[in-house]
Structure 1
Amino acid sequence: MSIPATEAVTSGMLTPLATSASTNDDQQMFMELMVAQLRYQDPLNPADSGEFLAQTAQFNALEQMTKVAEQTATLVASQLAFGAAGMVGRDVSYLNEDGTTSTGKVTGVTFSTDGPILDVDGKQVPLAWVASIHEPGSTPSTDTPTDAQA
């Protein structure tokens, strides 16, 4: 026996999820499998409602964790951007590609998909290369304790 209303309800359930910005392929596959399980279950031996509720709860938890992960990534990117912007006007020491250390004044920041890029005296320096930050005009501290000081 076929119930036409089931077809309309299940296809309508997938549409909002498929158009949602936070839905990825794994979530879509999970929903399709769950709907298929409901559609093709044996009417004389239906699925356990507790198992169905557990699967629904797992899907909701996965969706919430995905949202938290996206919000955390946005927060980290914002913190990096504010931190890089706060370096404008300060002197920094950074590692060059050849492994040597250079010092210069940050005159600007560019934001790219790879993260903030500092403009240090005309040279593009990724934020990850910065070794130290110091007040303009001061020299970076390179003092290391000696055996007599330790």
Structure 2
Amino acid sequence: MSVYGVSGTSYSNTGNTVTDTTKELGKDDFFKLLIASLKYQDPLEPMENQEFVSQMANFSSLEQMTNLNTQFQGMSSFLENCLSSITYIQQATACLDKEVEYLDGDQILVAQVDGVEFHEGMPVLVAGDQRIHLAYVISIRTPQTVSQEAVADEAAAEGNEIIQE
């Protein structure tokens, strides 16, 4: 596209276009703009020191906020990981001395949880010689306990005598 000025001189657009894929201005872009504004400023009305210092202060504040945002994102990720770990630990310890139903291949088995171990940072339930990942647990329940009286009543019904120590 050609444009004719008042003096008769023609200016031509060569078709060069700049495409920015990031859609965010960084500090390099800011400095390029600042240098361009200093380079092409009106020599009769140059940029005053206050304007220059103000722009630098704004840029410094922007950079500090960007750094804070990055640090907050890192802390947020760290806290999410900690909370996930704590949740898994709480779930695993809640299973101690409980009966759990869990999937083992295509079978549903029942076992009493004796302890909790950690493998690769994740809690694993210990039931005898079995190691059970929390993801395979279907249900958790308090094991049925047999009272001493029920044992004595059953023994008496069968004609056996229970000797207490």
Does the C-alpha gap of structure 1 residues 56 and 129 become closer, same or farther in structure 2, counting only changes over 3 Å?
Answer: same
Q: TM-score, structure 2 length as denominator?
A: 0.51
Greater displacement, 123-132 / 64-73: 64-73
- C-alpha separation in 2, matches of 1:122 and 1:107: 10
Residue 114 of structure 2 corresponds to 107
1:57 counterpart = 2:65: yes
Aligned positions of 1:85-96 closer than 5 A: 85-96=93-104
Q: TM-score, structure 1 length as denominator?
A: 0.56
Q: 1:52: Cα distance to partner?
A: 4.1
Residue 73 of structure 1 corresponds to 81
Amino acid at match of 1:119: V
SS at 1:137's partner residue?
Answer: coil
Amino acid at match of 1:92: V
1:133 counterpart = 2:140: yes
Mark the runs of 5 or more structure 1 residues left unpaired by the alignment: 1-32, 139-150
The total of aligned residue pairs comes to 102
Residue 30 of structure 1 corresponds to none
Q: 1:114: Cα distance to partner?
A: 4.8
Amino acid at match of 1:130: V
Residue 120 of structure 1 corresponds to 127
- C-alpha separation in 1, matches of 2:89 and 2:114: 15
Larger Rg: 2
